[in-house]
Amino acid sequence: MATAMNDKSLYAPVIATIEEAKMLTTTEKYFKLKLNNGNELGHKPGQFVEVSVLGIGEAPISISSSPTQKGYFELVVRNAGNVTGALHKLEAGSTVGIRGPFGTNFPYEETKGRDILFVAGGLGLAPARSFINYVLDNRGDYKDVTILFGAKSPTERFFTDELKKISEMKDVNLLETVDNGDASWTGNTGVITTLFSKINPNPNTTSCVVVGPPIMYKFVIAEAKKKDITDDNIIVSLERNMKCGVGKCGHCQINNLYCCQDGPVFTLAEVGQIPEAF
């Protein structure tokens, strides 16, 4: 059950304070938040919260921090609409409303002892990070860890300090690409699927976590399948208009599934045959 909830109404948020806010790119802003009631958010990797700017509205935002980090949680918000635009105007000390955490989580328990292949495109790195950091904080529980991250251009990369740190880790294989490089970029150029030729995952022991823009899924899934990773080991997080977060308002439906409750994290075995999923 969600912890950040008003006991009188499913739709009334609790208040959280922004402890830190900073721009990560020209369109993405980072927020570190703390619930004013002192409670832990108590989320699992892959879940999301509904964030309110009272007077403007509410938007679903995936949680970017791992629950191994206590006392706060982190969000990365792209300036893409009314609510996210209003969020971008807020700085440390401001308050927002929070409801949640909602939805299904990445299988962080079930994948212990396995190899994890993360495939994150663009802003998909934000939700994937909740699981990546969980794995890094519990590194001994998992075997080989590979992270593929693709951005449109070098300036759209974010969490670059963390990416640098990860790139220096001996027990993590980080491969990056950008669709369009610039003078500063010396790495791989091309869409994220071009990185698949550089890896050799063991299909028997690998769980593949895919998060990115809607267009990315079918191409990445095809690559994962080419590597013989089975549908129940391909894990996706889907984006929809998760307006209420509690399975009532209908906006996030994917055929019979409510993305906010049945998802946003699904295995391909669950949604591969659902016509509206991809």
Partner 1 sequence: MTAKTLSKENFKKFAENLVKSERTIGVKAKETKYEFGNINNADEIVMDYDVTLRSPRTFFQPPKEKLFDFKLGANTEIKPNIEADPFVLLGIHSYDLKALNQMDIIWDENNADQHYKARRNAATVIALEPTQASEWSFWGSMDSSTVDKGYDLLLTDIGNKYYVEVGTEKGANLLSKYASAEDATNDDNTARDKVRSELPNLCKADRKVKCDTDGITASMKNSYNNAIWEKLAEKCYSCGSCNLVCPTCYCFDVKDTIELDLATGQRTRKWDGCLLEPFAKVAGDENFRENRADRFRHRILRKTVYVADKLNGELACVGCGRCSSTCLPDITDPVKILNELCS
Binding site for partner 1 (CB under 8 A): 6, 8-15, 52, 54-59, 78, 80-81, 83-84, 95, 97, 214, 239-241, 243-244, 246-256, 261, 275-276
CB of 265 to partner 1, least distance (A): 17
Of 15 and 191, CB closest to partner 1: 15
Instruction: Quote the longest CA-to-CA distance of the chain.
Output: 56
Q: Which two tokens stand for residue 8?
A: 């009188």
Question: Helical H runs in 31-180?
Answer: 82-88, 125-137, 160-167
Nearer to partner 1, 190 or 247 (CB): 247
For the CB of residue 11, give the shortest distance to partner 1 in the complex, in Å: 5
Residue number, 82 or 160, with CB nearest to partner 1: 82
We find the least distance from the C-beta atom of residue 137 to partner 1, in angstroms, to be 31
Least Å distance, CB 172 to partner 1, is 30
Residue carrying structure tokens 């990365």: 76
Burial class (CB in 10 A: 0-12, 13-18, 19+), 161: exposed
> Quick count: other Cβ atoms within 10 Å of Cβ 119?
31
Q: Where are the alpha helices (DSSP H) in the chain?
A: 82-88, 125-137, 160-167, 216-226, 259-262, 268-271
| Chain centre distance of CA 146 | 16
Specify the residue, 10 or 163, whose C-beta has the smaller distance to partner 1.
10
- Measure Cα distances from 269 to 97, 146, 153, 236 in Å: 35, 22, 32, 10
In the complex with partner 1, the residue whose CB is nearer, 234 or 252, is 252
Kindly state the smallest distance separating residue 71's Cβ from partner 1, in Å: 21
Q: Pick between residue 140 and residue 275 the one whose CB is nearest to partner 1.
A: 275
Residues forming a β-bridge with 206 = 115
Shortest Cβ 136–partner 1 spacing (Å): 29
Other beta carbons within 10 angstroms of residue 15's beta carbon come to: 14
User: Tokens 């927020």 identify what position?
Assistant: 31
Tokens in use for 132?
Answer: 């990546």
Strand partners, 174: 147
Q: How far is the CB of 57 from partner 1 (least distance, A)?
A: 5
**58 or 176: whose CB is closer to partner 1?**
58
